[in-house]
Structure 1
Amino acid sequence: MTELLNLELAGHKVQLRRQQATLDELRLDGKVVSLNVRHEWHGVHAFNLPGYGTVTLEYSLDDTARHCVYRFYTDSETLAQGKSPINGPLGQASVQQTTSAESRTGDTATAGKATEAAKHHGIALFGLFFKLIKSAGALKAALAGTALAGWAWLFNLEVAICIIAALFIHEFGHVMAMRQCGLKVKGIYLIPFLGGAAVSEQAKTRWQDYKISMAGPVVGGAGAVAGWLAWLITDNQTLAIFAAVSLLLNIFNLLPIVPLDGGQAIKAIAYSKPGKLGHTIMLALSAVLVAGAAVFGFTLLVFFGILGAVDLLASGSKEYQRQVPMNTYGMTVCAGLYFFIVAVLVAISWAMADSGIAGANLPFVFLSS
């Protein structure tokens, strides 16, 4: 951990810290008030300062001179500005995104670390492993344990448990939809450093594909809202971390690129069109989004986009013939529902950020870039 700022502001202690390779966190009197995806040599945080309302911190880093140039300001005045020595190595920054990645998502991103390493989760961790081993095969338990250890190494144990919980809720949404469609479910698998995958037999219709794809973000988004409401009641920091991580994971998964959930949903709609049109639309959409991700430096998204494009090419233009398509009315309703769900989750993210959950602004950092 590298300390970028440590100063007094209006009678409050302010600290800006850089976590391993993903996040910059801002603390006010020891409590995390803002998390942001790490950029190379600059950053912006917004937080509530008693007596001043919303305060914005802008900062840039000079690795040669080893100092952080900062400015705290409101809409009407500058509260403080200057330079502060950097305590610790900066290293080479890379913007990483915390994402879901069920079979299709790359969880990174960025989700949120909001407290020091949790020291009292040993019993809960043991219970988690016991349930995994009891209810799933050895492979599932091994993957889950590796995933938990990987996230704990990258962030800390508390954040890792929140990520695993968010993934399970998200994947449980897929499993519910699979069972409603009468499909045999093979299980949920956690993939270290990437996310999770709910595996079942092949869906028989495009509507089933769409329903299964969208169920994960819908149920996962509901879990994020539940965590948010519980945080409002209890002010428990772990619930805040879970809500921010879960929301980011589910918004990321709705991006319209295969193999993410959003891409699978759009594919179900596009492939309901006869002929090669749907296949052409998906290839063009993948190419545009992969190019955009490359321009903005979202390497993990580029990686998954390329995997999705390869899958589309391998499936061939006759993929549409393999499942019962939706009719025009069904395609229209599903497309509208997709955009509605995206809008709802983004609005929830906005409301979470306004309520003060550190890290809830990460979807906006991702979407605005």
Structure 2
Amino acid sequence: MQVFSFAYAGREFVVAATPATGEEWVNVDGERVSHLRNFNPISEHRFDLPDLGEVRVGFQLNLATASVIYQLWVGGTQVLGAQARLQLVREDEGAVATETADETVAAAAPAPAPVKNTSWVSLALVGFKLLKTVQVIKVALLAASVAVYSVMFTLEFAIALIAVLVFHEYGHLRAMKKCGLPTKGMYLIPFVGGLAVGDMPKSRWQDVYISMMGPVFGLVMTLVFYIFYLVTESHFAGLVASTSALLNLFNLIPVYPLDGGRVVKSLVFSGRNYLALVALLGISALCFVFAWKMGFYFITFFIVIGVVDILAGWRVGLAEDITPLNRYGIWFSVFWYLAIVAMFLGMIVLIAQDALPGSEIAMKVLAS
């Protein structure tokens, strides 16, 4: 795509680029004399011409004003410097543009097409740079997470922990795609965990399904490490399984915006009456008693917080215009949620009963 052009010493200089790949090149009288890859708005090309010697073309794009400032050096001396509008003409349209140029000047009428193309290509350039920035942020957060967890534990354990988090967030992204919702990828945040980004669900069932698939994928990863621990008695595998179970269990705490909080809210607000609220309070009371008798005071605390959170947002949730769960969906989601929670708790307890060094940390957290 032609970006701009100028003439010097009877020669025509054309600067072209492909925004998607970052490729830039300079043609002189139709012959390519320089080619490089650049994603920045500032660029410089160096090349030699038979009758001019060493030539340097530098330019700076301004997407906001759809203009370019360029300079031409010959033999180390600047011989040209000017500002021009971005032309942004596709190379295969160059012949047509050249043939009609004289007619356009003779008619003394401005051609609106280049300005129109400018806006679209400018948006494309900005969008591509933003996309590139997002990818850099993702890589930076991944590196920061590995560094932080390596300091806290070991490099091997940090990598395993990152794998657990990534697999959990991948479960959310896979569920979003299955529901037909656009996704924007995942982010790993040190000390926090991960975040899968996508459009908001259009029904309560989509909200439940997307929220639960993260822990379900986490359960698969946890089971892999747990089975490997049972077969090989690997201390490392046992600790990863215990930690993975604890992290996924924490995500199922019924406090918004954690996965568990999203599930519980969808269940309660699908009832759209006080009977659903009473049912939630009854189930919460039973879970509270069970957790208290098992010594899982950490869970009892968040059960109370979750109930308070639901009560505080009761009227707001009822006012949301989103398709609720039917009766079958409500009961299926309740048992699905409780079953996943029970499996994570079971693995934590079983590993701790083996007196595996380090596995007592998960039990202490649950009992805190």
Q: TM-score, normalised by structure 2?
A: 0.52
Report which of the two has the higher share of helix.
Answer: 2
Counterparts in 2 of 1:243-262, with a 5 A limit?
243-262=241-260
User: Could you list the per-position Cα deviations for residues 296-319 of structure 1 after superposition, in whole angstroms to 9, with x for gaps in the alignment?
Assistant: 9x99x999x999989996896155
Check whether the contact 1:177–1:212 (CA below 8 A) recurs between aligned residues: yes
The amino acid that maps onto 1:367 is L
Pairing partner for 1:201 from 171, 183, 199: 199
- Alpha carbons 1:185, 1:199 under 8 Å: kept: yes
> Is 1:178–2:176 an aligned residue pair?
yes
Deviations 1:13-60 (A, max 9, x none): xxxxxxxxxxxxxxxxxxxxxxxxxxxxxxxxxxxxxxxxxxxxxxxx
2:349 aligns with 350
Counterparts of residues 260-279 of structure 1 (less than 5 Å): 260-274=258-272
Which residue identity lines up with residue 249 of structure 2 in the other structure? Answer: I
Deviations, residues 98-151 of structure 1 (Å, cap 9, x unaligned): xxxxxxxxxxxxxxxxxxxxxxxxxxxxxxxxxxx99x8111111111122122
Go from structure 1 to structure 2 and tell me whether the alpha carbon gap of 1:213 and 1:318 turns closer, same or farther (over 3 Å shift): closer
Q: Is the 8 A contact 1:271 1:320 kept in 2?
A: no
CA, structure 1 residues 257+223, in 2 after alignment: closer, same or farther (shift >3 Å)? same
CA 1:319 to 1:185, structure 2 compared with 1: closer, same or farther past 3 Å? farther
| Larger-Rg structure | 2
Matched, 1:323 2:322: yes
Deviations 1:263-301 (A, max 9, x none): 111111112122688799999x8xxx9xxxxxx9x99x9
1:279 & 1:325 partners in 2: Cα distance? 15
Structure 1 residue 320 displacement after superposition: 4.7
Whether the aligned pair in 2 keeps the contact of 1:251 and 1:345 (CA below 8 Å) is yes
Deviations 1:39-89 (A, max 9, x none): xxxxxxxxxxxxxxxxxxxxxxxxxxxxxxxxxxxxxxxxxxxxxxxxxxx
Seq. identity, %:
36
- Whether the 8 Å contact between 1:162 and 1:238 is mirrored in structure 2 is no
* Cα distance in 1 for residues equivalent to 2:355 and 2:196: 33
Report the Cα distance in structure 2 between the residues aligned to 1:197 and 1:308, rounded to whole angstroms.
24
What code does the residue aligned with 2:246 have? L
1:189 aligns with 2:187: yes
CA distance, structure 2, for counterparts of residue 141 and residue 206 of structure 1: 33
Alignment-derived partner of residue 232 in structure 1: 230
Whole-Å separation in 2 of the counterparts to 1:360 and 1:236: 13
Amino acid at match of 1:250: N
CA distance in 2, matches of 1:155, 1:311: 36
Q: Aligned AA for 1:317?
A: V
What is the identity, as a one-letter code, of the residue corresponding to 2:240?
F
Residue 160 of structure 1 is matched in structure 2 by 158
The residue that corresponds to 1:151 in the other structure is: 149
For residues 311 and 148 of structure 2, the distance between their equivalents in structure 1, rounded to whole angstroms, comes to 30
Q: Is the 8 A contact 1:178 1:200 kept in 2?
A: yes
User: Distance in 2 between the 1:225 and 1:359 partners?
Assistant: 18
Q: Unmatched 5+ residue regions in structure 2?
A: 1-130, 289-294
Aligned to 2:334: 335
Q: Which of 230, 237, 240 is matched with 1:242 structurally?
A: 240
Pair 1:368-2:367 in alignment: yes
Q: Name which structure has the greater RCO, CA cutoff 8 Å, separation 6+.
A: 1
SS at match of 2:195: strand
State the secondary structure of the residue aligned to 2:249.
helix
What CA RMSD, in Å, does the superposition of the two structures yield over aligned residues?
4.1
TM-score with structure 1 setting the length: 0.52
Counterparts of 2:352 and 2:223 in 1: how far apart (Å)? 12
**Which residue is 2:220 aligned to?**
222
- TM-fit CA distance, 1:195: 0.5
Runs of 5+ unmatched residues, structure 1: 1-132, 290-295
Distance of aligned partners of 1:245 and 1:311 in 2 relative to their CA distance in 1, 3 Å threshold: same
